[in-house]
């Protein structure tokens, strides 16, 4: 029987661990990420007769290389390629939270956006048009209150559909300045030719343009003897300075 792998990503304090606990109950264990002092929580649950293994990623404001937390979250999404990444957002500060959602959407299309703390939003009189957000982002959106375990079933139905390929999200693409878009256009074909669909080419191009040395190091470590990855890393080092 297949076990789907799910990651929970999101800004700090958006209720990821509350959701994680609601999903897994006692079927969880914690430890540290290899080589890091960042806590790693992993657990299991079933839904509609399917088994899901879920990782509670550290809360981060971005997925670049600013901290060990960000590297852990980024590396998991890029290298471990979960079947679905649930991006947990705080309903009371959606605008700020959506920044991370957009970053995840550049890394993978297998995303479900989960708007949590709906109870708090209701108290503040905030109303959220879920259909519109889903339409604009190009991915399914569910609304929950993790603390009171409201909305979890509907969330899991969407997660299962994305995991099984019955829903194939088509995320919006952020368009950058003319100059950046031109540089991406130059880099992307090389990355795609070299890496195939091992990693999202546009995202790798953006990271190279960003001079993200830590990503290059992670790619190198991950690649082992992979010649194509080494080629991109070498190329990247000439672009990044």
Ligand X SMILES: Nc1nc2c(ncn2[C@@H]2O[C@H](COP(=O)(O)OP(=O)(O)OP(=O)(O)O)[C@@H](O)[C@H]2O)c(=O)[nH]1
Minimum separation from the CB atom of position 88 to ligand X (A): 6
Scanning 13-21, 72-80, 122-130, 154-162 for contacts with Mg ion by CB under 5 A, the matching segment is 13-21
Q: Which does 110 bind (CB under 5 to 8 A by kind): ligand X, Mg ion, none?
A: none
Query: Rounded to 5 degrees, what are φ and ψ at 148?
Result: -100, 10
Q: Decide: is 86 part of the binding site for ligand X (CB under 6 A).
A: no
Name which of ligand X, Mg ion, none residue 145 binds, using a CB cut-off of 5 to 8 Å depending on partner kind: ligand X
Q: Does 119 bind ligand X (CB under 6 A)?
A: yes
Task: Find the residue with minimal CB distance to ligand X.
Answer: 59
Cα 187 from Cα 223, distance rounded (Å)? 20
Give the footprint of ligand X on residues 53-72 (CB under 6 A).
Answer: 59
Residue 76: closest CA among 117, 34, 44, 116: 34
Q: What would the DSSP string read from start to end of 52-86? A: EEEEEPPP-S-SSSSSHHHHHHHHIIIII--SEEE
Q: Binding to ligand X by residue 23, rule CB under 6 A?
A: no
Q: Which is nearer to ligand X, 14 or 65 (CB)?
A: 14
The H or E element spanning position 178 is helix 178-195
Query: Smallest Cα–Cα separation from 90: which of 144, 130, 134, 136?
Result: 144
Compare residues 40 and 222 and give the one whose CB is closer to ligand X: 40
Residue nearer to ligand X on the CB measure, 85 or 116: 116
Closest among 109, 94, 75 to 10, alpha carbons compared: 94
Shortest Å, Cβ 19 to Mg ion: 9
Of 108 and 145, nearer to ligand X (C-beta) is 145
Q: Are 70 and 60 in contact (CB under 8 A)?
A: yes
Out of Mg ion, ligand X, none, which partner does residue 106 contact, by CB within 5 to 8 A per kind?
none
Residue 10 and residue 100 in contact, taking contact as beta carbons nearer than 8 Å: yes
Establish if 28 lies at the interface with Mg ion (CB under 5 A): no
Q: How far is the CB of 181 from ligand X (least distance, A)?
A: 33
| Binds Mg ion (CB under 5 A): choice among 8, 9, 17, 97 | 17
148 vs 234 by CB, closer to ligand X: 148
- Which of 44, 106, 120, 157 is the binder for ligand X (CB under 6 A)? 120
Helix (H) or strand (E) holding 125: none
Beta strands in 134-240 (DSSP E): 141-143
Instruction: Give residues with Cβ within 8 angstroms of 140, minimum separation 6.
Output: 112, 113, 134, 158, 161, 162, 167, 169
Binding positions for Mg ion, rule: CB under 5 A: 16-17
Residues that bind ligand X (CB under 6 A): 10, 12-18, 59, 116-117, 119-120, 145-147
């Amino acid at each position: 029987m297949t076990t789907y792998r799910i990651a929970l990503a999101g800004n700090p304090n958006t209720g990821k661990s509350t959701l994680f606990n609601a999903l897994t109950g006692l079927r969880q264990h914690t430890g540290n990420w290899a080589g890091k002092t960042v806590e790693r929580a992993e657990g299991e649950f079933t839904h509609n007769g399917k088994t899901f293994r879920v990782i509670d990623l550290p809360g981060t404001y971005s997925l670049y290389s600013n901290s060990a937390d960000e590297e852990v979250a980024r590396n998991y999404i890029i290298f471990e390629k979960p079947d679905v990444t649930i991006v947990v957002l705080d309903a009371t500060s959606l605008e700020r939270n959506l920044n991370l959602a957009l970053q995840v959407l550049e890394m993978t299309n297998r995303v479900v956006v989960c708007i949590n703390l709906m109870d708090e939003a209701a108290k503040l009189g905030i109303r959220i048009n879920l259909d519109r957000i889903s339409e604009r982002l190009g991915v399914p959106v569910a609304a929950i209150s993790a603390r009171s375990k409201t909305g979890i079933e509907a969330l899991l139905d969407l997660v299962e559909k994305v995991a099984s390929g019955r829903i194939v999200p088509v995320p919006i693409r952020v368009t950058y300045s003319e100059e950046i878009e031109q540089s991406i256009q130059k880099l992307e074909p090389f990355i795609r030719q070299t890496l195939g669909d091992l990693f999202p080419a546009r995202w790798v191009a953006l990271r190279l343009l960003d001079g993200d040395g830590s990503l290059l190091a992670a790619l190198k470590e991950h690649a082992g003897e992979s010649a194509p990855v080494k080629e991109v890393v070498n190329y990247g080092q000439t672009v990044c300075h």
